[in-house]
């Protein structure tokens, strides 16, 4: 059972639609929050994606991320820095698409009953690490296929990819994974106390 099912017993189609809409809004708002960190600021977008996956489960989490990406593709300013679908043509396009996988991984863990802090944190770290696969592939390969000059993004070789696309974000990703685990396990603990 997921947190959303524990909190909202009815899983009718209108309830699921409301969850998807509220989840995509939550991610859009979190994407606009920038927390100062060294070496780069950290947005809360990935944290929100993890939380949606853990709270909604795989099916509803993936549906929420697809809705979120569709909103951006339609021109709504839902991505970081109020960007819209134009972001798919930039260096972060692969990361945006990869958010679907992040929600799926967190959701599968939730569907299978992962509720402990350690288990949730490990899943969140794994999902965050795997996000680099589509992100890096986009920056190195897919953009070149589309005829976009990736040199201006610092994406000509793996050394530059590591320097610009991975290493600066690792600390923030670990922090967000641990925060997701704290929030999810805190939610389950609050539910247990409420039932007691």
**Domain limits of the chain?**
3-187
The pTM score is 0.90
Cα diameter, the chain: 60
Choose among 120, 124, 126: nearest CA to 177. 124
Choose among 93, 75, 95, 98: nearest CA to 148. 93
- What integer pLDDT is reported at residue 87 of this predicted model? 87
Least confident of 73-87, 142-156, 167-181: 142-156
Class of domain 3-187: mainly alpha
Q: What is the distance between the alpha carbons of residues 6 and 120, in angstroms, rounded to a whole number?
A: 17
Q: Are 130 and 105 in contact (CB under 8 A)?
A: yes
Tens of pLDDT along 32-82?
A: 998 887 767 788 999 999 999 999 999 999 999 999 999 999 999 999 989
- What integer pLDDT is reported at residue 147 of this predicted model? 63
Tens of pLDDT along 102-113?
A: 999 999 999 999
Residue 189's pLDDT band, with cuts at 50, 70 and 90, is very high
Enter the tokens of residue 175: 């922090």
């Amino acid at each position: 059972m997921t947190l959303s099912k524990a909190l909202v017993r009815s899983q009718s189609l209108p309830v699921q639609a409301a969850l998807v809409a509220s989840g995509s809004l939550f991610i859009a708002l979190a994407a606009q929050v920038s927390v100062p960190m060294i070496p780069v600021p950290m947005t809360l977008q990935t944290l929100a994606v993890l939380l949606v996956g853990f709270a909604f489960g795989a099916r509803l989490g993936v549906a929420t991320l697809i809705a979120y990406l569709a909103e951006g593709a339609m021109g709504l300013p839902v991505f970081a820095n109020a960007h819209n679908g134009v972001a798919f043509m930039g260096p972060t396009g692969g990361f945006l698409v990869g958010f679907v996988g992040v929600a799926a991984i967190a959701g599968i863990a939730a569907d299978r009953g992962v509720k402990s802090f350690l288990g949730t944190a490990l899943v969140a770290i794994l999902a965050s690490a795997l996000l680099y696969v589509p992100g890096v592939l986009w920056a190195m390969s897919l953009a070149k296929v589309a005829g976009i000059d990736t040199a201006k993004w610092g994406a000509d070789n793996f050394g530059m990819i590591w320097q610009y696309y991975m290493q600066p974000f690792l600390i923030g990703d670990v922090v967000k994974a641990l925060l997701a685990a704290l929030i999810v396990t805190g939610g389950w603990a609050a539910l247990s106390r409420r039932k007691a």
